[in-house]
C-alpha cells in the first residue's frame, strides 16, 4: 500500500508541485519503466532496464559513474534493497561500483540521506553495514544530517498543537508511527545531542519527541555548547539545561520594553515568539517525561542550578515546571544562596507573585534555616528587604528564626533596623525578637537605628505596650486571597499560632469594677470603657472571667499613672 502511494504521487501530474527535490531530479534522469521496476523491487527487470540505459550512454566515465549513483539513490529512496544489492555487486555490468558516501550532483545528497528522507529501513540497514557516514551533511542548501532528514520527513507529520493537546498526547501519536529509521540513525549518529538541541531551539518538538522515544538516554546524556545570543554563554551543558535557558531567555525578551511596545501592533509574525515560548515550555515538560535530570550539568559542578536561574529570571512558568520534578530545592550556588534566598532577594512584579513562589518553595521542602557563606538565612534577607509578608510566612514556618545569627552575630532584627524597615522590626519584636542582643561590634539594634520612629519602636515602653496585643496579626492574610490554596493554608497557620494567645486577648477586656463616672452622670467612653456600666454588666463580666480563668485580668486592678512612667523607671 505504501509503495502504491509513492507511485501515485510520482505519476499524478496534479501533485507534481508537492514532489520533493530528489523525486523531481530522478524523474528527469530515469525512464518510467525503470522507476516502476525499482518501486516493485524487481531485480530482474531492474537489471534489464538499467543495462539498457547504460548501453545507450557514451563512453564518458563521468556519465556512467553519475548514472550508477542515480540508480543507487532511487533504489534507496524506494527501499528497493534487491536492486541496490545488484548495484553494489556490480551486476549492472558497468566499469564503476557506486561509492556509499558519494554525493549525487543533481540532488546533492548521498544514498544514506535519500534513504533517511524516505524512511527506507532495509536500505538504511544495508548502507550502515557498508559504513555509510552519518555525519555527512547534505549539499542541497539545507545542510542536514541523515538523522535530521529522517526527522524532517513528511512521514513524521502529526496533528498536534500546544494549546489543545498535552505532550503525552504527542508521545502517543508518535508511538503509533514506525520510527525504525530514526532509531537506526540515532544509534550511529555521534552528534545526536546537537540534533536534539537544534530541534528543540527551532521549536521542532515532534522531532525532539521522536528522538526521545528511540534514544532518550543518549539524548539526556549528551553535552552541547549552546549558542545563546542573549546571554552570550558558551558553557557546555545538557540539552535539558539548554532548553531551560532558552525558555528563560525568551521570557526575558517577551518582557522587554521593545517587545511590550509592539505587543498591540498587528503583524503576521506577532504570534511567533509566543508560540515558540509555548513550545519551549512543552519541550521542558517532554524532557522531564523521559527522565531528564536537572542535576546533570555535563560534569561541571560549578553550574548554577536551573531553579535559581528561573527565579532570577522571575519566570513563574519555568519555576512551576522545575518544581514538578524531584530536584533539590535547597541546592545552593557558589555563594551558598539557595533558591529560597534568591526568591526573597529578587524584586517581583507583585507581592502576591513573590508570596506564591515562596509558598511553592516551602511546599517542596525549602529549608528556611539554610545559611549562605555569611550565615544569612531567609529571615535576614526578608528583613533586610522590608518584605513583611514574606517574613510573616517564614515566622509561621519556623518561629525560632528570630534568633538566627549571621557570621557577625546579627539577628534578623539588626537587618530590619539597619535598613529602616519599621514594619519588619515591629513584626520581629511581636514574635519575641530581643533588642538587647549584641553583635561582634558590641552594638545593639537600637544603636543602628537611622530614624526617630525606629528608635521609638525599639524603646522598652513601646515594646511593653505592643506585647499586650496579639503576637500575630492577620492583616497580612488578604494578600493571599488570590490563591485559595495559599490563603487556606496561611489561615490555618495563623489560627494555630493564635490559639495560645486567644485566652490572653480575651481577658484583657474583662471589667472588674463599676465605672464611677457612669453613676455620677454618664461615661463618655460608652462601650469602650474599661469598667462596667451597671451591676448587671459587672455580674456578666465576672461570670465570663471565671470561665476564662486567666491571671491577665489581675493587671486591670493595678493603679494607672496618667501619662505613664518615665522610660528609665522600672514598672
Distance, C-alpha 247 to centroid of its chain: 8
Distance, C-alpha 307 to centroid of its chain: 7
Strands (E), 104-161: none
The CATH architecture of the domain made up of 2-139 is Alpha Horseshoe (1.25)
Using DSSP, state whether 367 is helix, strand or coil. coil
The three three-digit cell numbers of residue 432, written as one number? 519575641
- All CATH 1.25.40 domain ranges in the chain, comma separated: 2-139
Q: What is the pLDDT of residue 496?
A: 47
Given a contact cutoff of 8 angstroms between Cβ atoms, the answer to whether 543 and 536 are in contact is no
Query: What b-and-e string marks burial along 167-196, b requiring 16 or more CB atoms within 10 Å of the CB?
Result: beebbeebeeeebebbbbbbebbebbbbbb
Distance, C-alpha 10 to centroid of its chain: 46
The three three-digit cell numbers of residue 545, written as one number? 472571667
Q: Which helix (H) or strand (E) holds 237?
A: strand 237-238
Alpha carbons 394 and 401: distance in angstroms, whole number: 8
Given a contact cutoff of 8 angstroms between Cβ atoms, the answer to whether 21 and 109 are in contact is no
Neighbours of 315 (CB within 10 A): 23
Q: What is the pLDDT of residue 387?
A: 93
Alpha carbons 79 and 115: distance in angstroms, whole number: 7
Look at strands 223-224 and 237-238 and give their pairing: antiparallel
265 Cβ contact list (under 8 Å, min separation 6): none
Given a contact cutoff of 8 angstroms between Cβ atoms, the answer to whether 177 and 114 are in contact is no
Q: What is the pLDDT of residue 561?
A: 60
Q: Name the residue among 69, 62, 57 with its Cα closest to residue 26.
A: 69
Neighbours of 490 (CB within 10 A): 23
What is the rounded (10 degree) CA torsion for 354, 355, 356, 357? 50
Alpha carbons 25 and 40: distance in angstroms, whole number: 20
The three three-digit cell numbers of residue 239, written as one number? 540539552
405 Cβ contact list (under 8 Å, min separation 6): 375, 411
Which residues in the chain land under pLDDT 70?
1-31, 57-59, 94-95, 227-234, 253-271, 294-302, 467-512, 516-522, 524-525, 527-528, 530, 538-571
Using DSSP, state whether 325 is helix, strand or coil. coil
Alpha carbons 144 and 483: distance in angstroms, whole number: 48
pLDDT digits (tens, 9 = 90+) for 242-277: 999 999 998 776 655 555 444 443 333 344 778 999
Alpha carbons 464 and 451: distance in angstroms, whole number: 20
The three three-digit cell numbers of residue 296, written as one number? 546533570
Amino acid at each position: 500500500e505504501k509503495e502504491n502511494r509513492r507511485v501515485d504521487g510520482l505519476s499524478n501530474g496534479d501533485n507534481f508541485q508537492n514532489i520533493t527535490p530528489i523525486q523531481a531530479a530522478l524523474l528527469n534522469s530515469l525512464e518510467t519503466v525503470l522507476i516502476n521496476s525499482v518501486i516493485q523491487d524487481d531485480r530482474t527487470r531492474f537489471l534489464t532496464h538499467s543495462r539498457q540505459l547504460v548501453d545507450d550512454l557514451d563512453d564518458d566515465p563521468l556519465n556512467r559513474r553519475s548514472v550508477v549513483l542515480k540508480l543507487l539513490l532511487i533504489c534507496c529512496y524506494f527501499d528497493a534493497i534487491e536492486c541496490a544489492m545488484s548495484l553494489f555487486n556490480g551486476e549492472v555490468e558497468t566499469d564503476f561500483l557506486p561509492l556509499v558516501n558519494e554525493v549525487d550532483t543533481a540532488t546533492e545528497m548521498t544514498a544514506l540521506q535519500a534513504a533517511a528522507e524516505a524512511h527506507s529501513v532495509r536500505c538504511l540497514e544495508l548502507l550502515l553495514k557498508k559504513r555509510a557516514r552519518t555525519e555527512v551533511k547534505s549539499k542541497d542548501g539545507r545542510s542536514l544530517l541523515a538523522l535530521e532528514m529522517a526527522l524532517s520527513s513528511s512521514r513524521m507529520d502529526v496533528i498536534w498543537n500546544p494549546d489543545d493537546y498535552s505532550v503525552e498526547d504527542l508521545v502517543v501519536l508518535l508511538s503509533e508511527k514506525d520510527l525504525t529509521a530514526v532509531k537506526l540513525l540515532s544509534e550511529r549518529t555521534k552528534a545526536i545531542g546537537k540534533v536534539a538541541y537544534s530541534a528543540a531551539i527551532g521549536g521542532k518538538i515532534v522531532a525532539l519527541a521522536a528522538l526521545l522515544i528511540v534514544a532518550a538516554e543518549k539524548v539526556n546524556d549528551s553535552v552541547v555548547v549552546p549558542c545563546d545570543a542573549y546571554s552570550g554563554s558558551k558553557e557546555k551543558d545538557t540539552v535539558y539545561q539548554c532548553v531551560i535557558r532558552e525558555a528563560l531567555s525568551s521570557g526575558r525578551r517577551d518582557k522587554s520594553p521593545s517587545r511590550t511596545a509592539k505587543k498591540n501592533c498587528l503583524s503576521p509574525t506577532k504570534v511567533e515568539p509566543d508560540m515558540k515560548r509555548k513550545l519551549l515550555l512543552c519541550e521542558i515538560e517532554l524532557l522531564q517525561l523521559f527522565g531528564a535530570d536537572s542535576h546533570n550539568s555535563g560534569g561541571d559542578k560549578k553550574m548554577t542550578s536551573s531553579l535559581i536561574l528561573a527565579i532570577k529570571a522571575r519566570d513563574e512558568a519555568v519555576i512551576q515546571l522545575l518544581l514538578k520534578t524531584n530536584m533539590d530545592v535547597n541546592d545552593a550556588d557558589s555563594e551558598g544562596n539557595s533558591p529560597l534566598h534568591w526568591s526573597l532577594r529578587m524584586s517581583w512584579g507583585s507581592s502576591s507573585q513573590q508570596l506564591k513562589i515562596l509558598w511553592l518553595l516551602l511546599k517542596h521542602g525549602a529549608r528556611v534555616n539554610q545559611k549562605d557563606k555569611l550565615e544569612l538565612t531567609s529571615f535576614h534577607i526578608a528583613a533586610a528587604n522590608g518584605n513583611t509578608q514574606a517574613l510573616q510566612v517564614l515566622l509561621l514556618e519556623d518561629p525560632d528564626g528570630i534568633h538566627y545569627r549571621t557570621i557577625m552575630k546579627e539577628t534578623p532584627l539588626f537587618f530590619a533596623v539597619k535598613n529602616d524597615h519599621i514594619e519588619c522590626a515591629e513584626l520581629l519584636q511581636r514574635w519575641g525578637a530581643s533588642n538587647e542582643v549584641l553583635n561582634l561590634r558590641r552594638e545593639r539594634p537600637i544603636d543602628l537605628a537611622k530614624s526617630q520612629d525606629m528608635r521609638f519602636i525599639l524603646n522598652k515602653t513601646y515594646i511593653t505596650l505592643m506585647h499586650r496585643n496579639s503576637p500575630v496579626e492577620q492583616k497580612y492574610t488578604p494578600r493571599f486571597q488570590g490563591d485559595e490554596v495559599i490563603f487556606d493554608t496561611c489561615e490555618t497557620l495563623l489560627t494555630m499560632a493564635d490559639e495560645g494567645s486567644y485566652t490572653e486577648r480575651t481577658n484583657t477586656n474583662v471589667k472588674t469594677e463599676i465605672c464611677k463616672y457612669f453613676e455620677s452622670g454618664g461615661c463618655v467612653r460608652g462601650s469602650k470603657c474599661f469598667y462596667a456600666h451597671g451591676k448587671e454588666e459587672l455580674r456578666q463580666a465576672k461570670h465570663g472571667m471565671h470561665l476564662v480563668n486567666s491571671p491577665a485580668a489581675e493587671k486591670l486592678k493595678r493603679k494607672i499613672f496618667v501619662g505613664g512612667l518615665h522610660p528609665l523607671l522600672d514598672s
